[in-house]
């Protein structure tokens, strides 16, 4: 391994920010970008006349609805390090996109609203991280509003998310009485000034028993802070970085992202403790970032990032070696060589061409339809990265083309959106009808909106009463043939031609499984 590769790996930290909608995730992303000098003005600037939309939400429907629909990738430099943030959709209807994004990061920051505490969507996403032992830092946000007691929140996080927490900062008051945060990690007192002025006071404060404390925050707050920090010392062990990296403990920070308060402390601690690019598992072997040969995988595809050009971008996470522009690499699934003349790195909607990229980086590859989610690209070795499934959808509608003259656009648009993993398309065998399956209803709106806006195709939906779609396989040819003949009306194929069984109810699914014991029913596409 070259020295250059080793140095580049040490510089990189790639993480995702996850949360329930409205906990302040996109705001936190922006403030991190501000510290990195990647943007000059926060997008959430609200004045009476202008409301600039946030930097990381660049799809039209996101601007209208104020939710992140597509995962954005943003890179910035801070303190000599290169930090890659993957901003994920918080809305539950887009959970699948988030699950896939989590395969491409090495650690995660979870944002929790101080008033609402742990919400359902956060529980689901954190459970995916825990399956992979992904290191997690928790940021408790909106301290300038009234919310739950700090200790109660820590208990709730432990109970609902199953994390062992380790507070590294502690709030002084909350809402109306919020005065700042004591940074336990760096022994500093940070005093809050509302309206996000950059001159929040930071005072080195190693000894809380020092009477100077009263001068800064008053008698009552000083007494409370001393008492609470004693409890923290008794209840929580000293911070151990290795335990965090192993996913055993989760550091907790308090702050107010919209006021830019507590964010720098989070970032400063993050760059000290968060992992550099980690090894990735493939079906063949474990791939280490320090290997000389390049390998990476596609975890997301986004059509029409620039509506003026019909382009698709495949987002690839680099796992090992150095990726170079204009070099031939093997597209493993298709077994063919490809070269990329304009691989791009992202600063939200700003893109620039990169000549080389290193493990931990996410590169956008312009794609004319060659890629699917989960594809591997290597310097020649046949590798298949694991853990990038499609989930079996639970909400279905028939989709019909409304304008016969626009059939081509309809077909192309549907095909491209399905390759992005926005939803899944099934073709019913006996009548050829198209059925879209999604995880959440909002995806139907997005598909319709994008087909009209980006492809000029109009669609209409009809209700389709299915309970579940699952992939079916069978070793025994005769048994499989009998199954296909008996269940002909319930069979469809997915976009890769795999056979799918559409169950009308949970009872029907159970009966079919009992009647055809030799047939396997799979609920994710990875089988």
Residue 527, pLDDT above cutoff 60:
no
- Tell me the β-bridge partners of 519: 474
Residue 60, pLDDT above cutoff 80:
no
Helix (H, G, I), strand (E, B) or coil at 196: coil
User: Can you give the pTM of this predicted structure?
Assistant: 0.77
Band of residue 51 on the pLDDT scale cut at 50, 70, 90? very low
Residue 221, pLDDT above cutoff 80:
yes
Residue 338, pLDDT above cutoff 80:
yes
Q: What is the pLDDT of residue 510?
A: 93
Residue 428, pLDDT above cutoff 70:
yes
CA angle 370, 375, 381 (to 5 degrees): 110
Q: Which domains does the chain have, with CATH numbers?
A: 3-68+106-273 (3.40.50.300), 280-378 (3.40.50.300), 395-522 (3.30.70.3280)
Residue 90, pLDDT above cutoff 70:
no
Band of residue 61 on the pLDDT scale cut at 50, 70, 90? low
Residue 454, pLDDT above cutoff 60:
yes
Q: Are 144 and 259 in contact (CB under 8 A)?
A: yes
CA distance 360 to 314: 16
Q: Residues in the chain, how many?
A: 527
Pairwise pLDDT comparison (350 vs 24), residue with the higher score: 24
With 0-12 / 13-18 / 19 or more C-beta atoms within 10 angstroms meaning exposed / middle / buried, residue 339 is exposed
CA angle 157, 161, 163 (to 5 degrees): 75
Q: Are 118 and 112 in contact (CB under 8 A)?
A: yes
Band of residue 76 on the pLDDT scale cut at 50, 70, 90? confident
Residue 178, pLDDT above cutoff 80:
yes
Residue in 1, 78, 70 with CA at minimum distance from that of residue 37: 78
Residue bearing tokens 């699950």: 99
Band of residue 282 on the pLDDT scale cut at 50, 70, 90? confident
Show the tokens assigned to 299.
Answer: 């975890």
Strand pairing category for 165-167 and 169-172:
unpaired
Q: What is the CA radius of gyration of the chain?
A: 25
Q: What is the mean pLDDT of residues 364-390?
A: 83
Q: Are 253 and 186 in contact (CB under 8 A)?
A: no
Strand pairing category for 81-87 and 12-19:
parallel
Q: Are 270 and 81 in contact (CB under 8 A)?
A: no
Q: What is the mean pLDDT of residues 246-252?
A: 92
Residue bearing tokens 């009966």: 511
Mean pLDDT for all residues in the chain: 83
Show the tokens assigned to 26.
Answer: 């996109």
In 102-232, where do the E strands start and end? Answer: 107-113, 136-141, 165-167, 169-172, 180-183, 188-191, 201-204
**Which of these ranges, 31-40, 41-50, 81-90, 302-311, has the smallest mean pLDDT?**
41-50
In the chain, the percentage of residues whose pLDDT exceeds 90 is 34
Residue in 316, 321, 330, 324 with CA at minimum distance from that of residue 289: 321
Q: What is the pLDDT of residue 155?
A: 93
CA distance 12 to 359: 8
Dihedrals phi, psi of 485, to nearest 5 degrees: -70, -40
Q: What is the pLDDT of residue 419?
A: 75
Q: What is the mean pLDDT of residues 223-230?
A: 88
CA distance 473 to 469: 13
Residue bearing tokens 């990195």: 36
Q: What is the pLDDT of residue 332?
A: 93
Q: Give CA separation, 181 vs 24, 109, 228, 309, in Å.
A: 18, 19, 12, 48
With 0-12 / 13-18 / 19 or more C-beta atoms within 10 angstroms meaning exposed / middle / buried, residue 231 is exposed
Residue 59 DSSP symbol: S
Residue 347, pLDDT above cutoff 90:
no
Residue bearing tokens 């089988």: 527
- Tell me the β-bridge partners of 329: 338
Q: Are 294 and 379 in contact (CB under 8 A)?
A: yes
Residue 185 DSSP symbol: T
Show the tokens assigned to 312.
Answer: 């698709």
């Amino acid at each position: 391994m070259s020295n250059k590769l080793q140095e580049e790996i040490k510089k990189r930290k790639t993480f995702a920010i996850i949360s329930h909608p409205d906990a302040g995730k996109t705001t936190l992303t922006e403030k991190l970008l501000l510290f990195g000098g990647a943007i000059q003005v926060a997008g959430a600037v609200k004045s009476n006349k202008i409301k600039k939309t946030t930097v990381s939400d660049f799809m039209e429907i996101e601007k209208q609805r104020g939710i992140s629909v597509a995962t954005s990738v943003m890179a910035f430099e801070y303190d000599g390090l290169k930090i890659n943030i993957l901003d994920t959709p918080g809305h539950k209807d887009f959970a699948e996109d988030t699950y896939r994004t989590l395969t491409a990061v090495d650690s995660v920051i979870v944002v929790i609203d101080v008033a609402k505490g742990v919400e359902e969507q956060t529980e689901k996403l954190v459970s995916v991280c825990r399956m992979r032992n992904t290191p997690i830092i928790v940021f408790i946000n909106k301290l300038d509003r009234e919310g739950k007691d700090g200790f109660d929140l820590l208990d709730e996080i432990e109970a609902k998310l199953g994390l062992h927490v380790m507070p590294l900062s502690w709030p002084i008051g909350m809402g109306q009485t919020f005065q700042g945060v004591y940074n336990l990690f760096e022994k500093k007192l940070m005093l809050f000034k509302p309206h996000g002025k950059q001159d929040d006071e930071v005072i080195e404060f190693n000894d809380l028993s020092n009477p100077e404390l009263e001068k800064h925050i008053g008698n009552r707050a000083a007494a409370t802070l001393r008492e609470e920090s004693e409890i923290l010392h008794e209840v929580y062990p000293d911070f151990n970085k290795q335990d965090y990296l192993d996913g055993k403990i989760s550091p907790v920070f308090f702050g107010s992202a919209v006021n830019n308060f507590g964010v720098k402390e989070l970032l400063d601690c993050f760059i000290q403790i968060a992992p550099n690019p980690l090894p990735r598992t493939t079906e063949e072997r474990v791939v280490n970032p320090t290997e000389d040969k390049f390998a990476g995988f596609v975890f997301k595809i986004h059509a029409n990032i620039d509506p003026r050009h019909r382009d698709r971008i495949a987002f690839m996470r680099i796992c090992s070696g150095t990726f170079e522009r204009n070099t031939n690499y093997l597209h493993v699934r298709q077994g063919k060589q490809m070269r990329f003349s304009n691989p791009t790195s992202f600063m939200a909607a700003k893109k620039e061409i990169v000549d080389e990229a290193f493990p931990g980086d996410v590169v956008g590859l312009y794609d004319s339809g060659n890629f699917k989610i989960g594809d591997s690209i290597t310097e020649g070795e046949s590798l298949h990265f694991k853990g990038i499934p499609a989930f079996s959808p639970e909400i279905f509608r028939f989709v019909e083309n409304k304008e016969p003259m626009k059939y081509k656009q309809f077909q192309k648009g549907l095909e491209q959106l399905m390759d992005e993993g926005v939803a899944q398309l099934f073709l019913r065998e006996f009548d050829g009808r198209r059925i879209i399956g999604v995880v959440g209803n909002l995806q139907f709106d997005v598909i319709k909106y994008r087909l009209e806006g980006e492809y000029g195709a109009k669609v209409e939906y009809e209700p389709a009463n299915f309970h579940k779609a699952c992939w079916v396989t069978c070793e025994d040819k005769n048994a499989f043939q009998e199954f296909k003949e008996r269940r002909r009306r319930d069979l469809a194929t997915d976009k890769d031609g795999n056979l799918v069984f559409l169950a009308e109810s949970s009872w029907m699914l159970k009966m079919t499984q009992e009647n055809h014991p030799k047939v396997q029913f799979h609920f994710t596409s990875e089988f």
